[in-house]
Structure 1
Amino acid sequence: MSDESDGKHGVQSLEIGMDIFRVMVNGQRSMALKDIAAAAGMPASKVHRYLVSLIRSGLVEQDPHTSRYDLGSFALNVGLVSIDRLDRIRLGLAAIADLRDTINETTALAVWSEHGPVIVRWERPRRPITVNVITGTALDMLTSASGRVFAAYMARDTVRPLIEREMANPELPEDLRSWPQVEAMLDKVRHDGYAAVSGYYLVPGVEALAAPVFNFKGEITIAMLVVGVQGMFDMAPDGEVVRALRAAAVNLSQRLGYTGSEVSMIL
């Protein structure tokens, strides 16, 4: 049999296992072996063999006291990851729209890509002078607010190559040209719970704030931004814009299932 033909046929045993797993998902409660077998239209002995493999994979677990079967820890994790991937952008778009309405400033959403943070959406405020943010814009790690937030909370092995490439740029501000300086800046971001950039955010005369949004695994998944015109933008740590941004990021993190210590610290 050719590889192409084999690929079209698939793996029948896997499909049978997924049929049994689907019965359990649709059951919406723990189930006895006989009930699973009846719903799947298979002999109980056959279903049991598949359940053993599903248990080993973490998709199913068996209660030792009742012998009933239910979804396992890995199945729950798959569900949470799926929710996170489907909902984070949708919820993020609503969050930056609400934030824009609250503070009447340009707001934006950035996600991580292999080249660093990228703007995926922005919201224009109702004011005569605004800052336009271009969707798809790739942001620097050290001289953008969202880049600093991702650099502060992502794994060092992931962000280090990008940071080192930027540190080699002779136009980088003098206070960011060594690792001790960069580490001090990132420590401040983690301490404050947000990043602030003024004077050299992509273009002169623009200021920006960014706050991290975490998922249920405690990983940064989004950066929420507020962008304004220098001198016309409230950057005060205890000001309305910073408070509203941090509160919006915490609220979105909680909606994505995050329950870590940063929530209580920021609130």
Structure 2
Amino acid sequence: MRQGARGIQSIEVSGRILRALVETCQPMMLKELAQAAELAPAQCHAYLTSLRHVGLVHQNPVTGLYSAGPFATRLGISWLRNSPLASGVMAELQRMSDTLQVISALAAWGSQGPTLIQVNASAWQSALNVRQGTTFSVTGTATGRIFAAFGDAPAISAQIDAEFAHDQNMPRGSIGTVLQRDAFAALLRETRGNGYAVAEGAPIPQTNAISVPIFDSDGVLQFAAGLIGPSDRLSLDPEGPAIQELLAIQARLSVAPPSQDSEPLLADTLENRS
């Protein structure tokens, strides 16, 4: 559509509502959502009803709060998968999955926390049910700790607080167990120091996971790229092929990680609060 051409007003108004949900990155009450979208509550409610019908908005049946819906997640995943950075990492992860016979996964930060946008299965059958759209806890998984250690967004801190508070609004079915703050802070320091995160025998016994951060050209964390596999096949040896190859993928496709001498504000804040 050429600049200045007339559009469809109802779609543009819906876009204001969706933009408010995305920018807030947390469930919202009707009143505050209407205010953010510059609408009367009754008008906003009518739009939300239609947006719910097509899956772009979800309303918690218990709290009544609104958040981005499952179709919005699918749209975001579709956009991410077509980005050069994401597609390049996906191709490399597919190769590693085929070679090591483990699951490889790429996660981005979604409206409900770390969310898988691509999963490459292998011949290994796992009790861990991971698929596109699966969410992870921030505190209890290697993938989640990548976002806590290298990200710098208020939504990450808010998600961590919700997990420690055992918030009932957390997405059900998220993978990972909630740790104590001091244990989480120690793992955060370890992740920052190593440049990658690992999980040994958790959340599924005899299952290991490794995850590395993927940064864009501005040095901003975009994805967590990882491997999940049985402990006898997926070694957590720092000099082993799994960790070294993941770090090599990171070096080839993303910018250098931030200096270890300059901690992100979020990581500093989380450690100081432990």
TM-score by length of 1: 0.58
Higher helix share: 1
Indicate which of 192, 195, 204 corresponds to 2:194: 192
User: What amino acid maps onto 1:193 in structure 2?
Assistant: G
Q: How far is 1:128 from its partner? A: 5.1
Indicate which of 137, 159, 166 corresponds to 1:162: 159
Which 4+ residue blocks in structure 1 deviate beyond 6 angstroms? 82-85
Q: In the alignment, what sits opposite 1:212?
A: 213
Residue 116, structure 1, aligned to residue 119, structure 2: no
User: What amino acid maps onto 1:208 in structure 2?
Assistant: A
Q: CA RMSD in A?
A: 3.2
Please say if residues 99 and 248 of structure 1, whose CA atoms lie closer than 8 Å, have aligned partners that are also in contact: no
Q: In the alignment, what sits opposite 1:23?
A: none
Instruction: Give secondary structure in 2 for the equivalent of 1:141.
Output: coil
The CA distance in 2 between the partners of 1:119 and 1:233, in whole Å, is 20
Q: How far is 1:129 from its partner? A: 4.5
Please say if residues 102 and 124 of structure 2, whose CA atoms lie closer than 8 Å, have aligned partners that are also in contact: no
User: What amino acid maps onto 1:112 in structure 2?
Assistant: W
Q: How far is 1:250 from its partner? A: 2.0
The CA distance in 1 between the partners of 2:247 and 2:82, in whole Å, is 22
Q: In the alignment, what sits opposite 1:245?
A: 246
Aligned identity (percent) is 24
The CA distance in 1 between the partners of 2:155 and 2:98, in whole Å, is 34
Which residues in structure 2 correspond to 1:255-266 (within 5 Å)?
A: 258-259=255-256
The CA distance in 2 between the partners of 1:128 and 1:105, in whole Å, is 6
How many residues align? The count is: 178
User: What amino acid maps onto 1:136 in structure 2?
Assistant: G
User: What amino acid maps onto 2:195 in structure 1?
Assistant: G
Please say if residues 124 and 229 of structure 2, whose CA atoms lie closer than 8 Å, have aligned partners that are also in contact: no
Residue 143, structure 1, aligned to residue 140, structure 2: yes
* Residue ranges of structure 1 left out of the alignment (5+ in a row): 1-5, 10-81, 263-267
Q: In the alignment, what sits opposite 2:229?
A: 228
The CA distance in 2 between the partners of 1:204 and 1:169, in whole Å, is 23
The CA distance in 1 between the partners of 2:81 and 2:256, in whole Å, is 14
Instruction: Give secondary structure in 2 for the equivalent of 1:213.
Output: strand
Which residues in structure 2 correspond to 1:1-267 (within 5 Å)?
A: 8=6, 86-125=83-122, 127=123, 129=125, 133-155=130-152, 157-169=154-166, 172=177, 176-178=179-181, 180-201=182-203, 203-253=204-254, 258-259=255-256
* Residue ranges of structure 2 left out of the alignment (5+ in a row): 8-78, 168-175, 260-274
Q: Deviations for 1:94-123, whole angstroms, at most 9, x for unmatched residues?
A: 121122234332111111112211111111
Q: Deviations for 1:56-91, whole angstroms, at most 9, x for unmatched residues?
A: xxxxxxxxxxxxxxxxxxxxxxxxxx9997212222
The CA distance in 2 between the partners of 1:112 and 1:194, in whole Å, is 17
Instruction: Give secondary structure in 2 for the equivalent of 1:8.
Output: coil
1:83–1:162 distance in 2 versus 1, CA, 3 Å: closer
TM-score by length of 2: 0.56
| Bigger-Rg structure (1/2) | 1
